[in-house]
Amino acid sequence: MTEPIQYDPKKDLSWLLSNPWILIPRFIAITSSIFNLVVIIIAESFNKGEYIQNKNAENVLKILTNLGPCFIKVGQALSTRPDLIRRDWLEILTKLQDNLPPFSHIEALSIIEKELGASAEQLFEEFPENPIAAASLGQVYKARLHGNYWVAVKVQRPGLLFQIRRDIALIKIFTFFIGSFLPLNLGVGLNEIIDEFGRSLFEEIDYEREAENAVRFASLFSNNDAITIPTVEYMLTSRKVITTSWIDGIKLNQRKELIIEGVDIQSIIRTGVISGIQQLLEFGFFHADPHPGNMFALKGKANGLGKIAYVDFGMMDSITDSDRLILTGAVVHLINKDFDSLVIDFQKLGFLNEGKDLSAIAPVLENVLGGSLGEEVESFNFKKITDKFSELMFDYPFRVPARFALIIRAVVSQEGLALRLDPKFKIIAVAYPYVAERLLAGDTNQMLEILLDVIFDKDYRLRLRRIENLLNVIAEDTSKSNTKLLPVAQAGLKLLLSKRGKILRRNLLLTLIKDGRLTTEDLKGLLKLIKKTFKPKSLASELLQI
């Protein structure tokens, strides 16, 4: 395996500045294209005619395509947001995902031979003359390796490293001059976010790294029959060519096709969102580019969940154990409207600067998040919240840490994808039940700490309202998804009786003693809630079905 490609922003910027014959023509090309793009967007606000709108969207598509990979990636992100982009534009912008103009087939064959050491004719039993899809970084062929074994062969576009290196450096030059005029308040985070974007693109064009990502990702979901990951053919993979098993499925943005094929859309959405949450909050390794071109619905179900397949593992990222656990706690604090703790979570994650007086932040968060959350979990909308946070950044010391750029992109893309299938979808309505079930299982010391914070106050009194909220969410979620309550009940009981549950048992005993006397009021309330959620008859029925 060759040495991985490294992103070096200072070196790349110095290289571009010392080569004005590269810098100046590209600067002029981008400036004129962006000007035309702004004119089109302004025109969109005045003329609502369908023909004009389609024409404007096609012009935007053409401009972004001509500008190359970096700008196509921006368009791809926009194409997953039906709440940001007009639906008539949306359908056209989805072409940026895998319906771009292909490059020369002869050139692709030349790259295959140079990279793999033999011609496509020698390596494959059958190799087509035309690619089946063309995306921002490469094009894909459906080839036959042997027998009836079909594979996807992705060949990288020529000159890609040069283009990305040049354009990322140019974007940094642009932001240096116009960054202060942008309607953003990211502090020093803007350059860091651009560097994060550049780093991810450099990693994405290294197909050997992508192969490693695919294998690692597959191992994480090896026990999950609802998730399919293609198999990497290492003998036919190099830095510029990657070969994997072929996936037969339906793109997740093709709602009509899904309905025709009898695919349960709600179960597909649920699988996609839960797998995304698992990646962030459980595995710490996530797919950072979950657009419709990279996710397919498969027929059938597994354990009540719809089946999906992930492809294209170039843009992946990791989240630290510390950040992962703080995020989990933040979800719990958000649902319980514990805004003082949420402020601390934001500070730990880097969204709020340390050393600042945060006493005024909790009421602001309550004003922004409390109203959006309403009385029910399902009323939360991630897009509305991000909009409100954008406004807050002007008046309060909020900033976006660079390491969260891809995480936010992944969550936004995931929510956008689900919204296209179901306009009423609320991401937190799926996220919190998953977190709640993990809390009740208390499968790590950190999860146990969060659970204890939910159950007990500082005086060891039971927080019955929070416990009821937790149990109601689990009960409501299991009724929607046909998930059995028995495994949840078993996990909770196992925790209570385990060595790790010692502190939980101790705290429960302490609730019996208040003001120097024995009282069972709180404990009776807890047992009543447990009985209400885990109905004995329902659990007995499930036991009989095993």
> Which residues are designated catalytic?
289
For 89-111, b where at least 16 C-beta lie within 10 A, e where not — what string? bbebbbbbbbebebbeeeebbeb
> Nearest-CA neighbor of 76 among 288, 250, 387, 296?
288
> Nearest-CA neighbor of 249 among 272, 233, 276, 274?
272
For residues 348, 352, 355, 360, the Cα torsion angle rounded to the nearest 10 degrees is -120
Alpha-carbon span 479 to 472, nearest angstrom: 11
For residue 355, CA distances in Å to 343, 359, 397 come to 13, 12, 11
Any idea what DSSP says for residue 30? H
Backbone angles phi, psi at 186, to 5 degrees: -100, 10
Burial class (CB in 10 A: 0-12, 13-18, 19+), 264: middle
Alpha-carbon span 92 to 53, nearest angstrom: 10
Give the position of tokens 């071109």: 293
Alpha-carbon span 200 to 65, nearest angstrom: 20
Any idea what DSSP says for residue 462? B
Tell me the H-state helices in 18-135: 20-44, 50-67, 69-78, 87-93, 95-98, 105-116, 120-123
> Nearest-CA neighbor of 71 among 111, 105, 22, 26?
26
Backbone angles phi, psi at 4, to 5 degrees: -65, 150
Paired with 133 in beta bridges are 140
Give the position of tokens 């910027």: 13
- Measured on CA atoms in the order 204, 92, 259, 473, is the torsion positive or negative? positive
CB of 134 closer than 8 Å to CB of 311:
no
Tell me the H-state helices in 253-356: 255-260, 265-278, 321-335, 339-349
Angle ∠(161,176,318) on CA atoms, nearest 5: 50
Angle ∠(375,277,137) on CA atoms, nearest 5: 130
452: Cα within 13 Å, side-chain hemisphere: 22
For residues 109, 112, 113, 116, the Cα torsion angle rounded to the nearest 10 degrees is -170
CB of 128 closer than 8 Å to CB of 143:
yes
Polymer length of the chain: 546
Give the position of tokens 């991401």: 427
